[in-house]
Amino acid sequence: MTKEISIEVEKQNQGDWLNIYIPYKTDEAMACILLNDHGETLKKVKLKPGNNSIDISNINNTTINLKIETAYETILKKLNLTW
């Protein structure tokens, strides 16, 4: 598999967004989990193939831990939300 999942944090006038692009289809459930530094779940969202936008405007943390689970891979990443 040569296609990669892309992750981007975007600040707009309408709020702050986490954009995730899943380049492949799967019948298995996919999820994005946002955690604080203590491991507490801030938000959990089901993902679908293609573009996914998650509103993170109400998250007041300076950093969040991102966990993306798909049938083919699990991605763990720490995101800095300070602009």
CATH number assigned to the domain comprising residue 48: 2.60.40.10
Q: What is the pLDDT of residue 49?
A: 95
1 found inside a domain: no
Q: What is the pLDDT of residues 23-78, one digit of tens each?
A: 999 999 999 999 999 999 999 999 999 999 999 999 989 999 999 999 999 999 99
- 83 vs 10, more confident: 10
- Average pLDDT (7-18) is 90
Does pLDDT of 1 surpass 80?
Answer: no
Q: What is the pLDDT of residue 14?
A: 82
Quick check: 80 and 61 in contact, CB under 8 A? Answer: no
Residue range of the domain that includes 43: 6-80
3-state helix, strand, coil in the chain (%, to 5): 0, 60, 40
Strand order in the sheet with 50-55: 6-12, 15-22, 50-55
Q: In whole angstroms, how far apart are CA 48 and each of 53, 60, 72? A: 10, 26, 14
Q: What is the pLDDT of residue 2?
A: 56
Total structural domains in the chain?
Answer: 1
Angstrom distance (rounded) from CA 65 to CA 42 = 10
